[in-house]
Amino acid sequence: MSTTATPFGSRPLGTIVGSPYQGKVTHYKIKNAYATDIFYGDIVKLTDNNPNTTIEKDTGTATLTPIGVFLGCAYTDPTTGQFTPNQYFPASIAADDIVAYVATDPFVIMQMQGDESLTQDDLGKNCAIVQTAGTTTIGNSKNSVDGSTAATTATLPLKIIDFVDGPDSAVGDEFTDVLVMFNVGHQLLNTTGIG
């Protein structure tokens, strides 16, 4: 039973469309010396950093404009000169070859922990996200579903589509694990371009 708050951000598990989930990632650049940590499981967006479009952490709560879920990165470490894969992007890394690995499927199904109890009545409702700084020790996000916002509100960024029922979580637990998908705002489905 999930009686402890152990948020882990967004874990891509599958896709809502009929094809098998491939776990495919898209490679996007991160701006040299970008000043914000990005953790495994954080939601990211494309931003026009003139002259280049790059990935940034999407820090929204009640609204998001996601391109997908951050699943790590790689860059040439400015201290060692070595190519360095990393679970998270450490803020302000100075490198011109930073690449992010992003799950960009607009219909991706993600597991997230609620910041409170979520019940059967919350199934199908939309909700906001709680943004919390991740852990630099293991590189994981600590974002969670904002249970207090679960409502029919069309503009909320996440939709609860199922519950995780197992030894570590069940419907109505103190910190319920749920399956969510992007409700609105995914950049690949937005008819307005970036830039």
Q: How is the chain split into domains, by residue range?
A: 20-103, 107-182
Residue for token digits 């060692």? 80
Question: For 47-64, what is the mean pLDDT?
Answer: 93
Residue ranges of E strands in 7-51: 11-15, 26-29, 43-49
Residue 55 in this model has a pLDDT that exceeds 60: yes
Mean pLDDT, the chain, whole residue set: 94
Single-letter amino acid code for the residue at 4 = T
Q: Residues of the chain with pLDDT > 70: what percent?
A: 99
Closest by alpha carbon to 181, among 160, 153, 152, 163? 160
Q: pLDDT value at position 193?
A: 85
Question: For 135-149, what is the mean pLDDT?
Answer: 97
Residue 69 in this model has a pLDDT that exceeds 90: yes
- Read off the pLDDT of residues 12-52 as tens digits, 9 standing for 90 and up: 999 998 777 888 999 999 999 999 999 999 999 999 988 88
Are the CB atoms for 47 and 194 separated by under 8 Å? yes
In whole angstroms, give the CA distance from residue 51 to residue 179.
37
Residue 73 in this model has a pLDDT that exceeds 70: yes
Are the CB atoms for 192 and 51 separated by under 8 Å? no
In whole angstroms, give the CA distance from residue 134 to residue 84.
20
Residue 195 in this model has a pLDDT that exceeds 80: no
Q: pLDDT value at position 105?
A: 95
Residue 3 in this model has a pLDDT that exceeds 80: no
Predicted confidence band of residue 2 (pLDDT cuts 50, 70, 90): low
Are the CB atoms for 127 and 145 separated by under 8 Å? yes
Question: For 102-114, what is the mean pLDDT?
Answer: 96
Predicted confidence band of residue 166 (pLDDT cuts 50, 70, 90): confident
In whole angstroms, give the CA distance from residue 82 to residue 76.
5
Q: pLDDT value at position 1?
A: 47
Single-letter amino acid code for the residue at 41 = G
